[in-house]
Structure 1
Amino acid sequence: MTSSTRVIVLWLPDWPVTALLRSEARTAARAGATDDAGVSPAASQGPPEDVPPIAIMHANRVVACSASARLEGVRRNQRRRDAQGACPSLRLVAADPERDERAFLPLLAGLERLAPGVQPLRSGLCAIRARGPARFYGGEREAAGALLDELAASGVPDARAAVADGLFTAEQAVRLRGPTPFHTDRRVAIVPRGASADFLRPLTIAALSPLGGDEELVSLLARLGVQTLGEFAALDVSSVRERLGEHGARLHALAGGADSRVVVPRVPPPELAREIEFEPPLELADQVAFAVRTTADAVSAGLDETDLVCTEARITLLDDRGGRSERVWLHPTFFDAAALVDRVRWQLQAALEDESSHPDATSSARRLRGGVALVRIEPEAVDDVTHHQPALLGQGPDERLHHAMSRVQALLGHRGVVTPMLAGGRWLGERERRVPWGDAERPARARDLPWPGSLPSPLPSEVFRDRRAAVVTASDGAPVLVDERQRLSAPPALVDGRRITAWAGPWPVIERQWDRTAARRAFRFQVVDETETAWLLVLDGEGWRVEGRYG
């Protein structure tokens, strides 16, 4: 039997749900939704039972769910309608492997600071060779505990660990809920050296299913009467190889506790972020921009060494009074050192501007209250440099456009050049948001949120930000009104003196009915006048108004 290496496997239960919550918390933090101490909600996440019912869906089936959803009867591989039937308040979210991996990478970096040589098996599951950490921390249990403490400090308090001979045995052990004879405490399971076969013997044969999609092989073994790993391991290996091939022989060895795989540590990505501290703190934006030039050059040099370019940069400014300004900047091509310096200057200018001057700016850009003590430049998104090589005749109109807009922005200031952006909302006028050129601001009103009462497609081609007053009357000249039961006093016949040839409505929009001061009740209508022009009209407490015009 091939000897197996002792490994520590760390498992983060329900990781797709945790990754979703951390991603949402990070988005909220970018919009300024951190607490007074500057702690991100992702780092202060409560216990699993406090997470609302959430299910991650793929191909109309549940692939992961929160602990509160399981208490309501939601299970993995459950159909969508069955999951919703078990928990009507269940929140359904589409699976996103990239989101899971992005959220997992910072945790891997934290583990590598304690024990180099981490191998990510998949998002939420990783392995480390046990020998080095066990010698450093004074034992396998102590090493596993130190790694779990690091994950808990990073906002994942429910992580588990297992130590065993080989990756397969350790992964099976980490998924067993304690206490069992192999658990030293609730979080850590240790399978003694040479005891893998005894540990695996009673486990169901379904434990082999996740290994490369072996559902058909597991189903075949079950039909043949093989129900546990011990029964499979007891079969003659030559017979297994003859019937199931080399792959079946490998699974046979795993079932017997002989796992010859070794931990292959990942190669950590290079550290591309750079920062500079100022003592004493600097007060003027030009002083900061001049001093940060060497830092921007260092960022560009680090990218050049790895044949990468930065397309999205995060710039963080800290002052000497605890203030903080953090912003993510985008670039249509890639950032060079001069472009990074410009972003530092613009961000500092925007952070020091009076809030009343720009009421639509995010609060995360207005938190500096003193001199700048630290500037950190971190590439948020990078790309291969070969994708951005100049063409034979130049980069074309996109590069010229960006160059021109950047020049104008440098003259007029950060908000001197803006681009329109669609946000969420019930009213068409509030769905437009103007974002500074090259800025990565996200709208506070997200488009993907439900907006009951919002207008479905097709939308008007022209929207009036300041709604124009209109006069809508019946055929006898009386004003058209809507009562509490949404009944019209009379069919609309004229709009601003023009005959109405067709109309539809009313569609109610009821907002904040729990707040007497902010409550609003309005009704939408679509009408076509005698000139064949279609209008979107609104009737509220102020009377009839025109919200938009079609085509």
Structure 2
Amino acid sequence: MKDTRLLVVWCPDWPVIAACAATGTSPHVPVVVVDGNEVVATSAVARAEGIRRTMRRRMAEAMCPELVTFEHEPQRDARFFEPVAEAVEELAPGVEVVEPGVVAVQARGPITYFGGAERAAERLVDHVAARTGTEAQVGVADSLFAATKAAHRNVIVPPHRTAEFLRPLGVHELAEPGLVDLLRRLGLKTLGAFADVPENAVASRFGGSATRQHRLARGLSERPLDKRRPAPELAVAETFDEPVDRVDSAAFAARTLAARLHANLADRGLACTRLGIHARTERDEELHRVWRAAEPLTPRGIADRVRWQLDGWLTREQLTSGIRTLTLEPAEVVDGTALQLGLWGQDDERAVRALLHVQGLLGPDAVLVPVLDGGRGPRERVRLVPWGDERTPALNPDHPWPGRLTRAPATLRDEPAALRDANGGEVGVTGRLELTARPRQVTANGRTRDVVAWAGPWPVDERWWAPDAHRAARVQVQTEDQAFLLIRRDQRWFLEGVYD
């Protein structure tokens, strides 16, 4: 039977390696990469100090005062990963970049050529180390998810044994924290236990996203085998009047071409899951790379991968001229309804296609959806992200957040306001958090009204330990026909929200 397994080459702690390479930092010191206030990658030395992923930045710095911290930059990770992808491709042609730090290739070719999976893995690891000085691990399995987990453990999974390999692994290996937490509460602590749940029960209880994760736990591919062969006319190309040789110019080109490609696909009800990026330089150098995604790519996802790849090419010393022609080609497409996120239910395909079309015409930021975020103020608790992007909070909304309003206003505003007493004087806030007088009138939203009731003030005292500490106070006022949320900062009142 034909070997359909995938071979994955994984570089451990890649965000840390890329950050150290970009800054000249020694890899033998404790280093972490943070996204916001959360640790997303650690060096081996940092782990020896007890620092782990998902830890809060402040806690990590308290545990290790000499800790070196870098902000998460996917573009930097992709730029420094390009030489590694090239090194793998020298021995295993046809590699696909899954993400910076991970490449995949059909296992049959290198296994046949080198005379076995173990020999192929050994040669690839040695070659990557010799060419780039980077440590790598190799995994082989029947699906991309399983092959990646095998690479984390340096394991070669025999054909048709993927489900057996995945069975004892914990459910934390899945990429959805909300689902992982729910499975644990239900007593399903391993992938095998999750896989034993009937698929129709998972679909009816948890929905489409959990169904895809259930397929992964069973050792199946990310999607059912209903892929379509892309038509040649779906590809988009751009020939530049002036060769692109700067990263900022590349970012603009990536965004424009991504919107065009997505519009082409959306018009046909399709979405891209494998993206081919082709470039020809002014001196006729040919460049090509394929990016693979577990989920259908949004316009932002396409633009990001193109920008990362162009950054990697443009910063290579081997490139002797700028890019003259850039072509994006969908190497694999699926039904475009796979992008639906359930805003109107599972069956409203017309609304999904309409939004995809708007994003294709105007860009990914033309359609935004709210995400409930953590924070104390109403504006902090709602964050807008492009429709189709991952809707994960930057800060955990379930944390206590002392001082958070129990009821947020329906309409957010940010404009000057006034709060006056019976004599027309301004009402202030004392150092003891008391109003200087009883409010009688409020000027907000373009009108002056009599105050019939009020509540507060409530303090806003954030980052009190820092020079840029934010101190303010909020007050709710009720008039005969409306209620307002006011905030006093810098000795002035501002309208923060209107209650409908």
Q: Normalising to structure 2: TM-score of the pair?
A: 0.45
